[in-house]
Chain A
Amino acid sequence: MPEQPARERVKNFTEVTTGYTLDMAVAEAARCLQCKKPVCQAGCPVEVPIKAFIGHLQKGDVTAAYKAIRETNSLPAVCGRVCPQEVQCEGACVLAKKGEPVCIGRLERFTADEYAARSACEQLTGDKACPMIREELKVACIGGGPASLTVAGYLSTLGIKVHVYEALHEPGGVLVYGIPEFRLPKAIVKREVQAMTENGVEFHLNWVGGRTITVQDLFDEAFQAVFIGVGAGLPRFLKVPGEDLTGVFSANEYLSRANLGRAYAFPEYDTPPFPGKQVVVVGGGNVAMDAARTAMRMGAEKVSLVYRRTKNEMPCRLEELEHALDEGLHLEILTNPVSFAGDDAGRVTGVTLERMKLGDPDEAGRCTPNCTGEYFDIPCDLAVIAVGTGPNPLLLEATPGLKRNRRGYIEVNEDTGETSMPNVFAGGDIVTGAATVILAMGAGRRAAKEIARRLLGSDAPQDVPPLHGGVLEAQD
């Protein structure tokens, strides 16, 4: 797929990959064998009918392809950009064995973008997307990220009234505050949200679940079901000395400033960025890559990625690591921070790292990093910690009736997404811990199906097969 040259793009926040043209998409689609048994579909958490949509693309029929995807996926333009296709659909593609799977993610992205560009209107008024909303069937989603948006998208197409309560000032959750503009333009998220609004979904922004509104409040207001998709937003720190120094950021803060606050456009936008010339990013997931690549675009001279295992164990999407390396990311693999140093003003000046070596594989098959007792220092004036997140406590504290698991996340029935409280459902990172956008969407879809079954009875769609548990490895 065409992309901006690394040397150019590292100076801007414009999207890295520029997308297929129609000819390129049709040519790529032509490679699809249209297998009798489409194994690619078995890997998709939201059951996208991949064979069917690519079949339509082979004939150049973008509209039919879009409608096929849209049957199961509320956010196709997002998924085409951020899913780890190499371990899902593309990983399962029979051509993958020969090393060249069909680029399903890129085709999905092309279809969504091309369709929207051709007919924004039709997208909103297509017959399947515009039923009469029955105001008496009310469902609330707490949190406005990918899981809730999937619930809202699915239920609204069935004529159910959905209200989404989002704590921040823009809907989208991690799609807005976490994933940078150059990987997922905010206009794309806006477009998908706008389509839902046209479909009767109501967004209540700046409403904090557990503070402005509680689960009980919603039932008091005659909602029949509540879906909780509040994510795992609590940043984890390393708990090492010096971590409270000025210039040491959680990835959430560093990325929220840049994405939600558009700090890269300061002072046109008011949220200030923290300038860093020598930057250290700790972690090996997509969030770490996003932070590192953001720092490069904000004018860093050197960005070092500190990761305690090797390149092979990094949980990030392959494409993100490749893009980051092209852009000049420096890897400090097999290292682990033990302390940060600062100056008299309390600003970070460096980090001490311990060299690690790989030990035996753990239960999940990943090699454990072991200490070596060997240390070295590297200078830095900005450090970003991207080692994962925990469950956000606000809604959980305000909803003591919710049963939680050992790790503090919400326990749900795996088939229905229902929690220990009747008619309260949950999905996404608040159930699984930090994982991928597409897994959160899969959980949203599962819960939405059950909610539809309860609210609509025999009117609920019957033709959709049950979800198989396509288990993917969660991110670090």
Chain B
Amino acid sequence: MPVAILKKRRLIPGQTSELTLDASHIARKARPGNFVILRVSEKGERIPLTIADTDPQAGTITIVYLVVGKSTAELETLEEGDSILDVCGPLGKPTHIEPCGTVVCVGGGTGIAAMHHIAKGHKAAGNRVITVIGSRCEDLLLFKEELSMFADEVVVTTNDGSCGMQGFVTDGLRMVLDREPSVGEVVAIGPVPMMEAVANLTRPYNVKTTVSLNSIMIDGIGMCGACRVVVGGEVKFACVDGPEFDGHQVDFARMRQRLAAFKPQEELSWAEFRRLRGQEA
């Protein structure tokens, strides 16, 4: 059943948008860490996206996406009042949230939106929440205001120094870890190389590190195994065993290889989409 887009916010024009969806049946069940799988059109593929926020009273969920290929580009063509053909969820295990003192939530790029929901959950559980967010430059920074509304501290890093510290999120995180003696957990969501870098950084600090893995998925309900990841030497399904795992146990090298499995087809598909759009315009 199609799900209506109640609100669209262009966070980075042409690249990243936030959609508020009319989906009370998902909103009442969704917890931080859950994701949905959506399909834009009849011939579309199923794409997983983490839930960035929910409002159970209003019956809405919020998703944020980065245009990386045909399917997200097609999603970007939808406006307020349009509908998404299929939205399935909530999927995945919710984030394990328990009182543990100070939690550092690290987000990079679009991952900041996904991290937002989890940071909010940690705050609600009574934890002190420090967020570290990063992007290439200030214009590409997401959710700074939203996080400031509840987080105890928001550390900002940009590669060019246009906002906050100059450097990567790992530089911001290192500063926090050196300063704070009792961090209970680090949560990191973002591109795979970023999550890997965070896991490598926190290992010597011996602090629990949770990452959220964005594997290729088809059904998202444990049926296909496309999303297999190797964690601690064992094969796990990101869709039903995760998507969150112990970052110190994840085999990121295999993860990167599996993410590249359909690269040529993805490029072909996107090129074809742009060619057709170009003809229309």
Partner-B contacts on A (CB < 8 A): 167-169, 177, 204-208, 211-213, 233-235, 237, 243-244, 246-247, 249-250, 252-253, 256-257, 260-262, 266-274, 345-347, 392-394
Contacts and interface: CB of A to CB of B under 8 A. Distances in A.
A393 B224 CA distance: 13
A206 B86 contact: yes
Nearest to B1: A205
B219 interface: yes
Contact of A260 (B88, B91, B218, B261): B218
Contacts of A167: 88, 219, 221
A155 B218 CA distance: 32
Contact of B224 (A207, A212, A244, A253): A253
Contact of A204 (B1, B87, B265): B1
Interface string B211-236: 00000001101111110101000010
Contact of A257 (B39, B85, B218, B272): B218
A392 B91 contact: no
Given A207-B25, A253-B224, A274-B262, A269 B218 contact: no
Given A211-B91, A267-B269, A270-B269, A256 B45 contact: no
Given A206-B88, A261-B218, A345-B257, A266 B269 contact: yes
A330 B89 CA distance: 41
Contact of B225 (A206, A235, A268): A235
B97 to A, nearest CB: 18
B240 interface: yes
Contacts of B39: 169
Contacts of A247: 261
Interface in B245-281: 254, 257-258, 260-262, 265-266, 268-269, 272
A211 to B, nearest CB: 6
Given A244-B235, A266-B265, A394-B221, 17 more contacts: A204-B1, A207-B25, A208-B221, A212-B29, A233-B223, A234-B223, A235-B223, A235-B225, A237-B225, A237-B235, A244-B254, A246-B261, A250-B224, A252-B223, A260-B219, A270-B269, A347-B257
A10 B183 CA distance: 60
Nearest to B221: A167
28 contacts: A167-B88, A177-B219, A205-B86, A211-B221, A212-B25, A233-B221, A233-B222, A233-B223, A234-B222, A234-B223, A235-B223, A256-B218, A256-B223, A256-B224, A261-B218, A262-B43, A266-B269, A267-B269, A269-B43, A270-B43, A270-B71, A272-B265, A272-B269, A345-B257, A392-B222, A392-B223, A394-B221, A394-B240
A260 B86 CA distance: 14
A251 to B, nearest CB: 9
B249 to A, nearest CB: 15
A266 B218 CA distance: 15
Q: Interface SS of chain A: helix, strand, loop or mixed?
A: loop
Interface string B80-95: 0000011111110000
A257 B261 CA distance: 14
Contacts of B261: 246-247, 274
Contacts of B120: none
Contacts of B70: 270
B265 to A, nearest CB: 3
A169 B225 contact: no
B237 to A, nearest CB: 9
B119 interface: no
Contacts of B230: 244
B44 interface: yes
Given A205-B1, A207-B25, A208-B91, A169 B266 contact: no
In order of increasing CB-CB distance, the 3 nearest A-B pairs are A346-B257, A272-B265, A253-B224
B117 interface: no
B154 to A, nearest CB: 32
Contacts of A347: 257
Nearest to B74: A270
Contacts of A249: 225-226
B198 interface: no
Contacts of A244: 228, 230, 235, 254, 258
Given A247-B261, A271-B45, A393-B240, A169 B88 contact: yes
B46 interface: yes
B227 to A, nearest CB: 9
B224 A252 contact: yes
A243 B39 CA distance: 29
Nearest to A272: B265
Given A204-B1, A267-B269, A250 B222 contact: no
Contacts of B25: 207, 212-213
Contact of B268 (A206, A267, A345, A393): A267
Nearest to A166: B88
B72 to A, nearest CB: 11
Nearest to B92: A211
A253 B218 contact: yes
B26 interface: yes
A250 B237 CA distance: 12
A346 B258 CA distance: 8
Contacts of A257: 218
Contacts of A392: 221-223
Nearest to A390: B222
A393 B258 CA distance: 24
Contact of A168 (B219, B222, B269): B219
Contacts of B223: 177, 233-235, 252, 256, 392
B29 A256 contact: no
A271 B69 CA distance: 12
| Highest count of chain B CB atoms <10 Å: which of A262, A347, A394 | A394
Contacts of B219: 167-168, 177, 256, 260
A243 B254 contact: no
B272 A253 contact: no
A212 B268 CA distance: 35
Contacts of A207: 25, 88
Nearest to B36: A206
Given A267-B272, A270-B45, A235 B224 contact: yes
